[in-house]
Amino acid sequence: MLQYGHAGRSATARGRGSVLDRAGLVERGHLLLGSPKNGEAREAELWPLLADELEELYQAQGAPPLDALVFPNRHGGLSDWGNWRTNRWYPALHRAGLSDEPRPEVEGAFDPYSMRHTCATLLFYVRPPDGGERYAETDIAAHLGHTIGTLLAHYAAVRREMRPYAGMTMNDVIASARQEVWGPQPGDPGFVERWLTVREASELSGLSVKALHARIARGTLAASRESGQWRARERELRACLS
């Protein structure tokens, strides 16, 4: 569960920290408001690339109140965890070419909680964006809400998997992964911005024209109106579906 106010926003979302004082708990498949795992507020680092995207989404949604959910359900409330995994997460893995089909039991599919482990193991090797050589174990533990003992017990055995990322920043890792899946991104050599009509977006995404217009109206799909019809960037459509 993420609210815009958690992103450390002042004028923009570019602040380094994201203060997590509440979390989403799962009860009977539904996300509920609760406290973080250790019961205490903590500051997790918000990397610049993600901060920029949150800022862009925030503006596309019309700058809602800071207690607004970043990824609400269609009624503006908390999502059903099972529905989100089924309708969003596993299809996103399939579109990215990571799984054979958009289902949890197929080759290449994994639970979203695995991304927490990926983040933790990466943090042992990547360097901070401020120019430091590496993150201290105390910083990694604080980011995840662990003690150092728990951190080392959980992740020491798998740290070797992330050695190829040594010396990169988390921004570099995210950008590299996106290039591998989607090709050149904005700012990369060879990037060409592709604009889609709603009909073209429907054919690409599998969503109906009506559903896409509803997302545009809610501000969850950024679009601009030209010559009487809505157009959206392909990369924003893909981000909206992920």
Domain ranges (residues) in the chain: 4-72, 114-182, 195-241
Radius of gyration from C-alpha coordinates of the chain: 19
15-29, 152-166, 207-221, range with greatest mean pLDDT: 207-221
Contact 31, 79 (CB under 8 A): yes
Q: Which residue has the tokens 């800022």?
A: 55
- Residues of the chain with pLDDT > 90, as a percent, come to 21
pLDDT surpassing 50 at residue 221 = yes
97 or 198: whose pLDDT is higher? 198
pLDDT surpassing 70 at residue 28 = no
Long-range interactions of 208-215: CB distance < 8 A, separation 24+: 215/240
pLDDT surpassing 90 at residue 196 = yes
